Amino acid sequence: MKIFHRSRTLQNPNFLTKPRKFCNSSNKISTEDEEKDDGFVTILREIVRGKQSWKISFNNTFISQRLKPRHVEKVLIQTLDDPRLALRFFNFLVQSNLYWPASSVLQTLLLRGLNPRENKRVLDAVTIVKLMRQRNLLPEVRTFSAILNGLVRIRRFDMVLDMFDEIVKSGIHPDIYIYTAVVRGFCELKNFVRAKEMIYQMETNGSDLSVVTYNALIHGLCKNQRVLEAVEIKNLLSSRELKADVVTYCTLVLGLCKVEEIEIAVKLMDEMLKLGLVPSEAASSSLVESLRRKGKIIEAFTLVDKLGQFGIIPNLFAYNALINSLCKNGKLGEAESLFSKMRERGLFPNEVSYSILIDSFSKNGKLDSALLLLHQMGEEHIRATVYPYNSLISGYCKLGKLNEAEKLFEEMINKGLSPTVMTYTTLISGYCREENLDKAFKLYREMSEKNIPPNTHTFTALIGGLCRAKMMVEAGKLFNEMLEQNVIPNEVTYNVMIDGHCKVGNTVRAFELLDEMVEKGLVPDTYTYRPLISGLCLTGRVSEAREFVDDLHKENHKLNEICFTELLHGLCKEGKLRDAFSACKEMMERGLSIDLICYGVLICGVLKQRDIVNLSRLLEEMYKRGFKPDNVIYTSMLDSFCKLGDLNEAFRVWDKMVDDGCIPNVVTYTVLINGLCKAGFVDKAELLCKEMLAANSIPNQVTYGCFLDNLTKEGHMEKAVELHKVMLSGFLANTVTYNILIRGFCKLGRTQEASELLVEMIDNGVSPDCISHSTLIYEHCKSGDLQEAFKLWNLMLSKGLKPDRLAYNFLIYGCCVNGELTKAFELRDEMMRKGVEPNMVTYNSLIHGTCLINSFSFSGG
């Protein structure tokens, strides 16, 4: 296959045959003559550098009779420190018809005196050639080669081609270096047709062939992204009895990587290594990086390992990039191995290398390893920047280890590193997740003091913390402050606000925020729609939630399984099982699959309705689709059957759970223990608790609370108190467990002991809640001690506790049965002002109180 052809004949292809004078200085002299020459050259040099006339000096017979070409050569060489002077002297010789000696020195001038980095000297050489041509003199071939390569180096490719035409016109047969320079010139001018013609000319006129010329063409093609053509030329070298060298292969590998022909590049790299050729660092690094960018991380890792066996080391950038990709792909072991091998191969990790690994270890919770690397940096005198500290602080914050994060924060400041907005935002986000808003806002104020402007992520973290604390008024103020500081909220900011408003039942404001974010060009997603669907269901507007989902579907908004699960939960909660099953059918029609969570919601729904038929159907369907009930589903089933009092069915579910390999957790055990206790099987509950301990499942407050509740209901208060003391010693006592005891003592009329528990709670660092106070208030109201009841009421209010409907109803009842009807109605008005809606119990108490007053008045009349 021939890839070269001629479009037109080159000028003078057979070369000129006219007589020519070539520069030549091959005369040999003896040592004695050479010593005499040195003295004579010294005289000549002083004349050239002196102020006397060159014309007079060289017309002197002492000079003119002894002057030989070798003398002129030496003078010119010794004058090259002053290029202008050397050129003036050369011109003088030519203009004085002393061109024969002058022509003999041209080669020396070009080859020994020209610095290729100095454009002026190359152009001076071209001028000299022109002067010689005027005198009918021709430089040697090697001189033309030197000039052409000089012109190539200074990127005067137009002059390369002009001079080549001069060479051809002069009848000189170009050598391999001339051809190579011309091919490169054509390639740089993107004239690949002429470049190929030039090589064809070489191949057909008997010139010596060299891979160097072909490499020039291959380089030009690769540079212009015609890499596959370049590969074809490389494949034809063997038919020219040439072998591709390391330059050929490396040029092709680099070119193939640039056009993302990675598979061919890998084949050529393997071929090169098999031939024993050592690829350059650039080619090795480029291929490793290309494999990495294509996601072929293991192939890149394997290549680095293979290159290492040949003693080839990709550059530090390639190593760092590959380590980074391995980390991002979860290949921490391989990344660490590569990091370790760097030193073995003479390449030392830098701050970037360490930062990449520290960040990856931190994100994967391997903070001990990350911290070890940070200390290693110090030992190797590599100064850590703020970035590895940020990574570690983020890692500790995600694990809730804020104390360790704070220590690192202080350490970096002590080392003279300035925290960035990311440092502060990470800590703020951590404290918000731990519901420590005071600390989070303290850091926020500190940012302002240090002139570190908060960004979108900072505000979003703080707003999220306020929303989780249901402080929506404060969240709204901070949102407005964010806008005032020209910090633009993103989708996450709006999603957090929408979720917060939905959780407190303010769906009106949530939908206003949805409209606002759309107006600003932000795109809502499933994280936006899920809380809106949940919020509508939470406020009893399930039908509206269903309509909202249908509208989103009509507008081609994609919802995921989580959004539909929220709708299913709302429908099941309201007992609309038929609608829930219909929604499942729509899910599947819209390309969504029912997952285990969806099944869990449906099963909870049918259990609530005691629909055993649909329960069996759902379980059967689950197994057919390859699902098995998880802990949540089994626990829901156990809880339902226990509440129905069907312990036989509950234990049948328990056995099935164990057979399925689903290990019961503390919640599962507690549900069954609670069922046994309520059914009066306390002995069996105790045996199950022992089994729980044997299974390394530690009972919690709720577990012990089941036994505590049973003891108080049975009136065994002394045993209950003893159990509670054990719970206190294990830090398991809480407000709920104390409330169980208070209720037990009140039930037995032991109000004084119940009141003493309020004091004990505070002493043990447990805060009484509304139930703690209202239980005692009710007992005082029943016994007619309204004064003590109101005393407790005021104590509760002074602690910032907000009475609920039950608390109001207890006190209203007490006022009514004790003849304080006016106070009862005042309490009714107060509860309404505070947003607590009265119910039938409230009004029944008021009616009963009114009837009592009327009855008393009637009997008195």
Q: Which helix (H) or strand (E) holds 424?
A: helix 421-433
pLDDT of residue 684: 92
pLDDT of residue 408: 93
In 3D space, the residue among 405, 386, 410 whose CA is nearest the CA of residue 395 turns out to be 405
pLDDT of residue 108: 53
Q: Which helix (H) or strand (E) holds 136?
A: none
Query: How far is CA 34 from each of CA 28, 30, 60, 70, 84, rounded to the nearest angstrom?
Result: 10, 6, 22, 10, 28
Question: If pLDDT is split at 50, 70 and 90, which confidence band does 860 have?
Answer: very low
At 364 the three-state DSSP class reads coil
Q: Which helix (H) or strand (E) holds 481?
A: helix 472-484
Token readout for 299 is 């192939």
At 14 the three-state DSSP class reads coil
CA-CA distance, 118 to 115, in Å (whole number)? 6
pLDDT of residue 97: 57
pLDDT one-digit tens code per residue, 85-124: 766 776 776 666 554 444 445 555 554 444 444 555 666 6
pLDDT one-digit tens code per residue, 622-651: 989 889 999 999 999 999 999 989 999 999
Measured at the CA of 784, the angle between CA 779 and CA 786, to 5 degrees, comes to 85
CA-CA distance, 13 to 29, in Å (whole number)? 40
SS3 sequence of 525-569: CHHHHHHHHHHHHHCCCHHHHHHHHHHHHHCCCCCCHHHHHHHHH
Contact 856, 822 (CB under 8 A): no
Which has the higher per-residue pLDDT, 785 or 138? 785
pLDDT of residue 83: 63
pLDDT higher than 70, residue 518 = yes
CA-CA distance, 698 to 689, in Å (whole number)? 9
pLDDT one-digit tens code per residue, 599-626: 999 999 999 888 888 999 999 999 898 8
Among the residue ranges 271-285, 291-305, 826-840, the one predicted with the least confidence is 291-305
In 3D space, the residue among 625, 697, 641 whose CA is nearest the CA of residue 667 turns out to be 697
Buried b (16+ CB within 10 A) or exposed e, 345-383: eebebeebbbbbbbbbbbbeebbebbbebbeebeeeebe
Alpha helices in 345-401 (DSSP H): 351-363, 367-379, 386-398
At 802 the three-state DSSP class reads coil
Token readout for 412 is 């970096």
Query: Which residues of 49-158 form beta strands (DSSP E)?
Result: 137-138
Contact 610, 637 (CB under 8 A): no
Beta bridge partners of 137: 21
pLDDT one-digit tens code per residue, 341-358: 777 767 788 888 888 889
Among the residue ranges 19-23, 542-546, 732-736, 815-819, the one predicted with the least confidence is 19-23
CA-CA distance, 474 to 438, in Å (whole number)? 13
In 3D space, the residue among 477, 513, 507 whose CA is nearest the CA of residue 493 turns out to be 513
Question: If pLDDT is split at 50, 70 and 90, which confidence band does 65 have?
Answer: confident
pLDDT higher than 80, residue 515 = yes
Question: If pLDDT is split at 50, 70 and 90, which confidence band does 131 have?
Answer: low
Question: If pLDDT is split at 50, 70 and 90, which confidence band does 745 have?
Answer: very high
Average pLDDT of the segment spanning 136-144: 63
DSSP designation for 237: G
pLDDT higher than 80, residue 148 = no
Among the residue ranges 29-38, 61-70, 255-264, 311-320, the one predicted with the least confidence is 29-38
Average pLDDT, the chain: 83
At 765 the three-state DSSP class reads coil
pLDDT of residue 198: 80
Dihedral of CA atoms 346, 352, 353, 358 in degrees, nearest 10, equals 150
Pairs from 32-38 (Cβ < 8 Å, separation ≥ 24): 37/70, 37/71, 37/74
The region, left, alpha or beta by phi > 0 then psi within -120 to 50, assigned to residue 427 is: alpha
- For 827, residues 6+ apart whose C-beta sits below 8 A from its C-beta are 808, 811, 812, 815
pLDDT of residue 169: 67
pTM: 0.61
Question: If pLDDT is split at 50, 70 and 90, which confidence band does 44 have?
Answer: confident
Alpha carbon of residue 127 to chain centroid: 60
pLDDT of residue 138: 62
pLDDT one-digit tens code per residue, 731-742: 888 999 999 999
DSSP designation for 209: P
CA-CA distance, 199 to 183, in Å (whole number)? 7
Question: If pLDDT is split at 50, 70 and 90, which confidence band does 429 have?
Answer: very high
pLDDT higher than 90, residue 772 = yes
CA-CA distance, 613 to 656, in Å (whole number)? 18
Question: If pLDDT is split at 50, 70 and 90, which confidence band does 32 have?
Answer: low
Query: How far is CA 333 from each of CA 330, 360, 633, 747, rounded to the nearest angstrom?
Result: 9, 11, 37, 63
pLDDT one-digit tens code per residue, 196-205: 888 887 888 7
pLDDT higher than 90, residue 278 = no
Token readout for 229 is 């053509």
pLDDT of residue 238: 87
Amino acid in position 284 = S
DSSP designation for 324: H
Which has the higher per-residue pLDDT, 175 or 467? 467
Q: Percent of the chain at pLDDT above 90?
A: 43
pLDDT higher than 80, residue 20 = no
pLDDT higher than 90, residue 425 = yes
Average pLDDT of the segment spanning 406-416: 92
- For 220, residues 6+ apart whose C-beta sits below 8 A from its C-beta are 183, 184, 186, 187, 188, 190, 192, 195
Which sign does the torsion angle of CA 316, 321, 323, 324 carry?
Answer: positive
First to last CA, the chain: 131
**What does the chain come to in residues?**
861
CA-CA distance, 186 to 202, in Å (whole number)? 15
Contact 756, 721 (CB under 8 A): no
Average pLDDT of the segment spanning 34-43: 75
Average pLDDT of the segment spanning 808-833: 91
